[in-house]
Amino acid sequence: NAGVMQNPRHLVRRRGQEARLRCSPMKGHSHVYWYRQLPEEGLKFMVYLQKENIIDESGMPKERFSAEFPKEGPSILRIQQVVRGDSAAYFCASSPVPGTDTQYFGPGTRLTVL
Amino acid sequence: AQSVTQPDIHITVSEGASLELRCNYSYGATPYLFWYVQSPGQGLQLLLKYFSGDTLVQGIKGFEAEFKRSQSSFNLRKPSVHWSDAAEYFCAVDQGGNTGKLIFGQGTTLQVKP
């Protein structure tokens, strides 16, 4: 059973471009969580999704950020018109049921905004 | 609001010495507590977790942690550190029982001297 997969592992964008980060959960997992890790900080919760539904987006910035988890395919975190402050590592985690006790993290995508 | 504090940003220990990493949390009820390790450029690996029951929890790689409700602490320990333990360690608490939303501490970077 492959683990949680994220791609790309590294992404470089210029200010104003769009960034798309993908997360493929573990097989059988229908719950996905996105976290952001700014330099020198711990991870901060962004959004929790189930298939085709956003359950909790209380940690998402109000503008430019969106997330989806379609019926088929990976979960996508989209950042429009990126700014330097968006440079961070973005991690996703997945679980088969809601909850932290069965959550597994992916390797992360490191976004650099020039 | 729930919070997690890791008072030590950096710790250096000699190989073979014992290790204790501190973690204090703020949470009203019995918390779900976690310790993760992150090697440079890697994702997070779960070391151990506490939900209920025995307050001394055994994890992988020889780590253990003790939940002390009276001190709101969940310190991580290892009797003899190996050079490969050098990494960043994060303590985390579930935001509300077992919601799947983790609050992380700022992290403690462990350096191991030969």
The predicted-structure confidence for A25-50, as pLDDT tens digits, reads as follows 999 899 999 999 998 788 999 999 99
CB contact under 8 A, B43 and A100: no
Query: What pLDDT is attached to residue B97?
Result: 65
pLDDT tens per residue, range A51-98: 999 999 999 999 999 999 999 999 999 999 999 999 999 999 999 888
Q: Is residue B96 over pLDDT 90?
A: no
Question: What's the first-to-final CA gap in chain B, in angstroms?
Answer: 41
pLDDT tens per residue, range B13-29: 999 999 999 999 987 77
- Helix, strand or coil for residue B50? strand
Instruction: Look up tokens 């490969």; give the residue.
Output: B84
Q: How confident is the model at residue A1 (pLDDT cuts 50, 70, 90)?
A: low
Instruction: Give the span between the Cα atoms of A76 and A83, in whole angstroms.
Output: 19
Beta-carbon pairs below 8 A across chains A and B: 68
Query: What pLDDT is attached to residue B106?
Result: 92
Whole-number percent of chain B with pLDDT over 90: 74
CB contact under 8 A, B32 and A108: no
Instruction: Give the span between the Cα atoms of A111 and B53, in whole angstroms.
Output: 40
For A100, name the nearest residue in chain B, comparing CA atoms only: B100
Instruction: Look up tokens 């994890």; give the residue.
Output: B59
CB contact under 8 A, B36 and A31: no
- CA angle A78/A82/A83 to nearest 5° reads 145
Phi, psi of A86, deg, nearest 5:
-80, -10
